[in-house]
Structure 1
Amino acid sequence: MSYDESPQSVRRRPGRSTLTVAVAALVPGALAGWLVYQGTSGPESGGPPSAATAGTPSVATAPVTPSAATPSVATPSATPSTGPDSGPPGAPAPPDRPLTGKVIVIDPGHNPTNRDHPTEINKPVNIGPTSKECDTTGTATNSGYAEASFTLDVSHRLRTLLRELGAKVTLTQDADRPFGPCVDERARIGNKAKADAVVSVHADGSASGNRGFHVILPALVKGGAADTTAIVGPSRELGERIAGNFARETGSAPANYIGDGTGLDVREDLGGLNLSTVPKVFVECGNMRDSHDAALLTTAEWRQKAAQGLADGIKGFLMK
């Protein structure tokens, strides 16, 4: 499955008021994209995975290296690019851009070589009230396109877009280390940078028939090193902005299996959120185990739209 630190099951919260996806999602463009999705995806399942599926981890046997069946799509270099926010010595400073002075941390879920370090990634780390494993391998499509490859690709595209807007951008990992970083270190990277926003990029590994995206928001957690009191509100606003813009840009609908149709889910068991002291959300861009979503996630054109939706959501949050 995705960057869940425990097996993900459908979480519906009776009594919780349904949060409308951000206003941006309701503009005509968003609605049109949503209708296109509905017209092509067929009836939504509207319910949780079967008991047999829900209790079975979906990532244990998923290959990480893309197989021959994986679409041939060029993968951006893992070497950090200089981006438009740098130039030759003595060059005049570029004019102010919308996000000049803003610091953004992108957290690409997992690491392509986590699979080679099971001992290290299974080591427990403290996430506040409890502890969880350092990291996980992530999921993959049935054809073998790894979530770790997907997250890096989208993160590279997102970094380029944000730098064009003038932001200073840092990645928590860029396939430049043997494994991890662990979830607690991922949080510390954003905290140390004093980021204005942190977005963790993922794709889910739920049952076939479960489609769409969702944004995970931090719950109110206090215990040990965790205290999300100050970030719950701004993180929700960041998540709402991203959900609306993501729907508009990609044409994808909010998940039909989690979040009660809002595209938003609140969790208290993710160390990357619990230990953050700056606004942070996780974005599950789609379900890699569903053939409809997988066809989107493995397409470079759609990944660019996903990156644009994320960038627009971050921009809207930071320029409010």
Structure 2
Amino acid sequence: MSYAGPGFEPPRPDRPDRPDRPWRARRGPAVAVAALVCGGLLGWLGYEAVGASGDADGGSGRAAGAAPSPSSSSPSPSPSGKVSAHSSSPSSAAPSGDDGKPAGGAPGTLRGKVVVIDPGHNPGNFRHTSEIDRKVNIGTNWKECDTTGTSTNSGYAEARFTLDVAHRLRTLLERQGATVKLTHDDGSPGWGPCVDERARIGDTAHADAAISIHADGSAAGNRGFHVILPAAVHDGAADTRPIAAASRDLGERVAGTFLRATGEPPSNYLGGGTGLVTRKDLGGLNLSTVPKVFIECGNMRDRTDASLLTSGAWRQKAAEGMSEGIVSFLRQS
């Protein structure tokens, strides 16, 4: 997902306000960033490289491929279930292959819980530009129904990436007993849905948690993941005040477990090293009445991140990281 577009307001770096979130950068940003770098360097040294899965397809057909790049080992969870950026212990997640099969989990843990997964964009959007350009009201302003999303320089589309990760995440959550709904799936519908409808699907399902999956399209050299939290918005049809705190809790947990599972560092260009960004210009968050976050898993235009995003093995780790955070959130809710 790119940040360019009408009505864009630059994201505000998250300001820590919860002392019980040990994984996030707090006092002394330089110390926290240095710890992240050191942990990342240790992870690079211990990494066993995995190649791309070979299923990259679709997109804009832009030239230049992405070379494979290692993924770092990750911090271990703290006793509270959050992840500390100051730990360099390897991930405890069970390994899994490139077949999308879950790496483990307790069957029935999430029985009775509903999770809505929103795969960002749609592979068919580029065929329906007039439909997705239509403006919809998101409370704070009007925005396009949807966009085509971005792609790697070699043409692997964000919309293909998000669907693949969504399928893997669904498998993991269903194995633990959750009822999982996708806002759209392959070929259904052929474009969209619009951002307001994506929010409405989660609302109608009375989801206990919702997550929208994306990958960014920023400049080369900008890399890392970030989780987008809803600001406390009360404007028009948007009122996120009842779900802002729960969404922050969900986002912090997902950010911590995603870091641990994938080794992908927090964004070096947004969020001040916390991996968290708060925004009020996204319809999928503004119009949600259930706890919801977005995750930008990496930057598709950065060579290092692209080599991970196009790897099926890494996408499985990404799904595992999201699943662990969602499970952690739902167990305490």
Q: CA deviation at 1:178?
A: 1.4
Partner of 1:57: none
CA distance in 2, matches of 1:76, 1:114: 27
1:136 paired residue number: 147
Structure 1 residues 252 and 10: CA distance shift in structure 2, 3 A: farther
Identity rate of aligned residues, in percent? 58
CA distance in 1, matches of 2:182, 2:3: 16
Contact 1:21 1:262 in 2 (8 A): no
Deviation at 1:34, TM superposition (A): 6.6
Query: 2:309 maps to what in 1?
Result: 297
1:204 to 196, 206, 216: 216
> SS in structure 1 opposite 2:126?
helix
Is the CA contact (8 Å cut-off) linking 2:13 and 2:270 kept in structure 1? no
Alignment-derived partner of residue 103 in structure 1: 114
Tell me if the contact between 1:24 and 1:245 (Cα under 8 Å) persists in the aligned partners: no
Verify: 1:249 aligned to 2:261, yes or no.
yes
Q: Which residue of structure 1 lines up, in the alignment, with residue 243 of structure 2?
A: 231
Alignment correspondent of 2:76: none
- For residues 7 and 299 of structure 1, the distance between their equivalents in structure 2, rounded to whole angstroms, comes to 34
Q: Which residue of 1 aligns with 2:323?
A: 311
Rate the CA distance shift 1:121–1:306 in 2: closer, same or farther, 3 A. Answer: same
Structure 2 Cα separation of the partners of residues 116 and 101 of structure 1: 38
Which of these residues, 258, 265, 282, is aligned with residue 270 of structure 1? 282
For 1:64 and 1:136, the matched residues in 2 are separated by 13
The CA distance in 1 between the partners of 2:306 and 2:180, in whole Å, is 28
1:124-150 per-position Cα deviation (integer Å, ceiling 9, x unaligned): 001113110000000000000000000
- 1:159 corresponding residue in structure 2: 170
Q: Is the 8 A contact 2:61 2:154 kept in 1?
A: no
- Distance in 1 of aligned mates of 2:267 and 2:164: 22
Q: Counterparts of 1:130 and 1:303 in 2: how far apart (Å)? A: 34
> Partner of 1:282: helix, strand, or coil?
strand
2:157 corresponds, among 140, 146, 163, to: 146
Indicate conservation of the 8 Å contact 1:76/1:153, yes or no.
no
Q: 1:13 to 1:215 in 2, by over 3 A?
A: closer
- Using the TM superposition, give the Cα deviation of residue 37 of structure 1 relative to its aligned residue in structure 2, in angstroms: 3.4
CA deviation digits over 1:250-289, x for unaligned, max 9? 0111101000010000000000000000000000000000
Q: Deviations over 1:147-194 (max 9, x none)?
A: 000000000000000001110000001022111000000000000000
Contact 1:214-1:285 at 8 Å conserved across structures: yes
Q: Which residue of 1 aligns with 2:48?
A: none
CA 221–203 in structure 1, closer or farther in 2 if over 3 Å, else same:
same
Q: CA deviation at 1:223?
A: 1.3
Counterpart contact for 2:126–2:148, Cα < 8 Å? yes
Comparing 278-287 with 172-181, greater Cα deviation is found at: 172-181
- Opposite residue 120 of structure 1, the aligned amino acid is E
2:229 to 217, 241, 245: 217
Q: Return the alpha-carbon distance in structure 2 between the equivalents of residues 25 and 34 of structure 1.
A: 14
**Residue 49 of structure 1 corresponds to which residue in structure 2?**
none
Distance 2:110 2:221 in 1: 38
**Contact 2:222 / 2:302 at 8 angstroms: preserved in 1?**
yes
Query: How many residue pairs get matched?
Result: 278
What displacement does 1:25 show? 7.5
Deviation at 1:224, TM superposition (A): 1.1
Matches of residues 11-22 of structure 1 in structure 2 within 5 Å?
Answer: 11-13=11-13, 16-17=15-16, 22=21
**Which AA in structure 1 matches 2:230?**
P
Distance 2:5 2:281 in 1: 7
Q: Equivalent residue of 1:319, what SS?
A: helix
1:63 aligns with 2:59: yes
TM-score, structure 1 as length reference: 0.78
* Residue number in structure 1 paired with 2:54: none
For residue 185 of structure 1, the aligned residue among 181, 197, 211 is 197
Name stretches of at least 5 consecutive residues in structure 1 with no aligned partner. 42-61, 78-82, 84-94
